[in-house]
């Protein structure tokens, strides 16, 4: 999985819950740091860290919609796609945020 480390973030973040498609429907809560749309595809930068904390972030790509009209996301793992998106998200975040590929 491609992760990014984010320094302390001072954003009001929306909290969302993901239901894992694999692994028995395990639920994970994330905070949305930023979102963008590129070439018609939605991407979100999410973290489990609360506002003001350092933490790891993951870039997710919308890959479809369920019958209940909920978005389906997968982790961006392609290195070129990840690097390009990391640069976009770094530009969208506040000056004190830093994205480092891990």
Residue 69 phi/psi, 5-degree rounding, is 65, 30
Euclidean distance between CA atoms 41 and 45, whole angstroms: 13
pLDDT by residue for the chain (102 residues), tens digit each?
454 444 444 445 677 777 766 656 688 888 888 899 999 999 999 888 877 777 788 899 999 888 888 888 888 999 999 989 988 988 888 655 556 565
CA–CA gap between residue 5 and residue 56 (Å, rounded): 4
82, containing H or E segment: helix 79-92
């Amino acid at each position: 999985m491609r992760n990014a480390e984010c320094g302390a973030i001072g954003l009001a973040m929306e909290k969302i819950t993901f239901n894992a498609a694999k692994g028995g429907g395990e639920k994970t809560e994330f905070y949305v740091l930023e979102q963008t749309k590129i070439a018609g595809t939605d991407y979100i930068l999410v973290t489990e860290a609360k506002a003001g904390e350092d933490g790891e972030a993951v870039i997710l790509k919308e890959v479809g919609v369920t019958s209940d009209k909920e978005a389906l996301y997968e982790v961006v793992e392609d290195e070129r796609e990840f690097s390009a998106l990391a640069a976009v998200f770094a530009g969208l975040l506040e000056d004190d945020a830093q994205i480092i590929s891990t």
